[in-house]
Amino acid sequence: MTEPANLPPLNATLARVTERIRARSAARRADYLARIDAAAAAGPARAHLTCGNQAHAYAAMGADQDALAKGRAPNVGIVTAYNDMLSAHAPYGDYPALIKEALREIGATAQVAGGVPAMCDGVTQGQPGMELSLFSRDVIALAAGVALSHNTFDAALYLGICDKIVPGLIMAAATFGHIPAVFLPSGPMPAGLPNDEKAKVRQQFATGEVGRDKLMEAEMASYHAPGTCTFYGTANTNQMLMEFMGLHLPGSSFVNPGTDLRQSLTVAGAKRAAEITALGNSFRPAGRVLDERAFVNGLVGLMATGGSTNLVLHLPAMARAAGIELDLEDFDDISSVVPLMAKVYPNGLADVNAFHAAGGLQFLIRHLLGAGLLHADATTVWGDSMADYTKEPKLIDGALTWVEGPENSLNDKILRPVVEGFAATGGLKQLAGNLGRGVIKVSAVAPERHVIEAPARVFHDQEAVKTAFKAGEFTTDTVVVVRFQGPQANGMPELHSLTPTLSVLQERGLKVALVTDGRMSGASGKVPAAIHVSPEGTCAGPIAKLVDGDIVRLDAVAGTLDCLTEGFETRAPAQPDLSANTHGMGRELFETFRRNVGPATSGASSVL
């Protein structure tokens, strides 16, 4: 590895964007840092509590009570998103006991501070529950705040992986930025039925070529074990972010669950949290790790890997919790200088296990550092150099050891160095035009489909699209508009269940695109989709003025999204009855979120 001293200077665009973020955030960040510095200076968390407070906190802690009551050893709070619904989170069931045992070995203690909810978007995909999905990110931040407000912790361990869980936990970790935060992953499930074969069976089911039994067989062969799903969707994009932003141990993201190496990494991560508290000599509060450099490094990783479009919503909300204001122009400028270096499904055929075997994140970080495309001097939970993250963990003679990751890609169909990237720019592109602002993930779309101009068919829900498809109504090039799917309308659900239908039309030779104020899954990909269109239809956004037959042009090369039909702006916006969105499957509990949620362009948060 090139020693940090020999690394090239930071890329000029990254330096400019970082300074722009710093300037834009200056006042907010200064207030934030003053608050967390004051909280940290007030001394170890437990010193504030009365004897009564502490007795309650330690009553159930058995053999750890004495150590806790003495108050001299670090006490680590565990915030866990364990449940059996997410295959990725199921392994967390065993973590608290393992963590407590590991910390006892070094004279420290751990307590489960609290649990947070976690929704599996695979279970709710295409279902009413998906309308709670995006709001659940903020609920997770709130729930983690409740857990940490017991204020008996010198550091926190966050057990979360999937879509809104890492973003929600980061919002909490930044809010409690006066104490350190270490994120502990569980790792991907072993490879099952390849993702592209699963997608093919779904398309065959959509056209009636196979029955539900065949579809179920394929789905169960694809999602078959504990661990994160193996496509490069939002969950695995989150894992990439946790390394690029320095909140995981180096190389820990994609080690499979249930292995000795995984267990050793969990133990080491727990001990690291205890080592970096204010009680020791290497204090690393989360608010100092989550700085402008960390977010720029995260954006670089997002572009280099063609990560999930959901992070365009989540990163601004995560940053704001740390007093940092991200803007969509930051995404665009960083995308313009960072090549696409990885091809993992849906951007390619490989799954995340194959990506990791080809060299994974350590290869990416090595080559991005070597090209001046990362802040090398970022503060992480592990040290003060991103050079630490070119190393990967191994068990050598039973001892956890970090060794340099591969200099060369072990599979250039999956992973390439900066100078040989699969594309000269990153996987995401901002769009703007007379239909508002949006984003498209170009890394998974064939170049010949980057510009689509066709008549619109306008729908108000995804089921209506499928009904029209089954009735054979799509016979020509079409821009499918699905509107009133924004944050205020119905919580901005993912419309990924449209992917098989739109893919069939595309494979029949039609030029199709989706335009929506909703969002797509990180697993969506090969159909061009302009998503997160703002202002949303419910806020009288231009998308609400479209009618069937309008000519719509989505141009991912120029970054434009326009209706070309004369005079469409003068129309009154459609105002459909959305009352069906307000009840059922818990949606009645989220009216406050729908009323208070901000626009997609600033992260669609109801709390920050």
Ligand X SMILES: O=C(O)[C@H](O)[C@@H](O)[C@H](O)[C@H](O)COP(=O)(O)O
Residues making up the binding site for [4Fe-4S] cluster: 162, 229
3-state secondary structure of 591: helix
The binding site comprises 162, 229
- Smallest gap from residue 565 Cβ to ligand X (A): 33
The site partner of 522 among ligand X, ligand SF4, none (C-beta below 5 to 8 Å per kind) is: ligand X
Span 381-440, contacts to ligand X by CB under 6 A: none
- For the record, the structure tokens of 240 come out as 């990439």
E strand intervals along 149-241: 155-159, 181-183
DSSP H or E run through 319: helix 310-321
- For the record, the structure tokens of 297 come out as 């490094």
- Smallest gap from residue 320 Cβ to ligand X (A): 21
- Residue linked to tokens 């991560």: 269
- For the record, the structure tokens of 28 come out as 């907010």
310 binds ligand X (CB under 6 A): yes
Among 277, 308, 347, 443, binds ligand X (CB under 6 A): 308
For the chain, the first-to-last Cα distance in angstroms comes to 40
- Smallest gap from residue 178 Cβ to ligand SF4 (A): 30
The site partner of 263 among ligand SF4, ligand X, none (C-beta below 5 to 8 Å per kind) is: none
- Smallest gap from residue 120 Cβ to ligand X (A): 6
Query: What is the Cα–Cα distance from 378 to 294, expressed in whole angstroms?
Result: 6
Amino acid letter, 473: E
234 binds ligand X (CB under 6 A): yes
Residue 310 or 462 with smaller CB distance to ligand X? 310
Residue 308 or 335 with smaller CB distance to ligand SF4? 308
- Smallest gap from residue 218 Cβ to ligand X (A): 11
3-state secondary structure of 78: strand
- Smallest gap from residue 456 Cβ to ligand X (A): 26
Span 117-176, contacts to ligand X by CB under 6 A: 121-122, 125, 163
Query: What is the Cα–Cα distance from 362 to 368, expressed in whole angstroms?
Result: 10
Which of the stretches 233-241, 371-379, 386-394, 420-428 binds ligand X when contact is defined by CB under 6 A?
A: 233-241
- Smallest gap from residue 168 Cβ to ligand SF4 (A): 13
Which of the stretches 72-80, 232-240, 263-271, 465-473 binds ligand X when contact is defined by CB under 6 A?
A: 232-240
Q: Is 143 exposed, middle or buried (0-12, 13-18, 19+ CB in 10 A)?
A: buried
Q: Which one, of 179, 156, 145, 151, lies nearest residue 48 by Cα?
A: 151
Count of residues making up the chain:
608
Among 306, 491, 518, 522, binds ligand X (CB under 6 A): 522
Query: What is the Cα–Cα distance from 438 to 559, expressed in whole angstroms?
Result: 9
- For the record, the structure tokens of 387 come out as 């050079």
CA 114 to chain centre: 22
* Ramachandran assignment for 398, one of left (phi > 0), alpha (psi -120 to 50 degrees), beta (any other): left
What binding mask, one character per residue, do residues 523-542 give for ligand X by CB under 6 A, x or -? Answer: x-------------------
The site partner of 308 among ligand SF4, ligand X, none (C-beta below 5 to 8 Å per kind) is: ligand X
Q: Which one, of 521, 312, 539, 588, lies nearest residue 426 by Cα?
A: 312
The site partner of 228 among ligand X, ligand SF4, none (C-beta below 5 to 8 Å per kind) is: ligand SF4
- Residue linked to tokens 């989360």: 286
Query: What is the Cα–Cα distance from 16 to 572, expressed in whole angstroms?
Result: 42
The site partner of 252 among ligand X, ligand SF4, none (C-beta below 5 to 8 Å per kind) is: none
Q: Which one, of 488, 492, 490, lies nearest residue 516 by Cα?
A: 492
- What residue is closest to ligand SF4 based on CB? 122
Which of the stretches 43-51, 355-363, 390-398, 520-528 binds ligand X when contact is defined by CB under 6 A?
A: 520-528
Cβ proximity of 212 and 241 under 8 Å:
no
- For the record, the structure tokens of 444 come out as 């998974």
- Smallest gap from residue 133 Cβ to ligand SF4 (A): 9
Residue 385 or 490 with smaller CB distance to ligand X? 490
185 binds ligand X (CB under 6 A): no
Which of the stretches 134-142, 228-236, 371-379, 417-425 binds ligand X when contact is defined by CB under 6 A?
A: 228-236
The site partner of 310 among ligand X, ligand SF4, none (C-beta below 5 to 8 Å per kind) is: ligand X
Which of the stretches 25-33, 336-344, 408-416, 518-526 binds ligand X when contact is defined by CB under 6 A?
A: 518-526
Q: Which one, of 13, 8, 18, lies nearest residue 336 by Cα?
A: 13
- What residue is closest to ligand X based on CB? 233
The site partner of 374 among ligand X, ligand SF4, none (C-beta below 5 to 8 Å per kind) is: none
- Smallest gap from residue 474 Cβ to ligand X (A): 21
E strand intervals along 57-122: 75-80, 109-115
Interacting residue ranges for ligand SF4, rule: CB under 6 A: 86-88, 120-122, 162-163, 228-229, 233, 235
User: Measured between alpha carbons, how far is residue 445 from residues 309, 320, 529 in Å?
Assistant: 13, 31, 9
Among 138, 461, 494, 517, binds ligand X (CB under 6 A): 494
Interface contacts to ligand X, rule CB under 6 A: 121-122, 125, 163, 233-235, 308, 310, 494, 496, 521-523
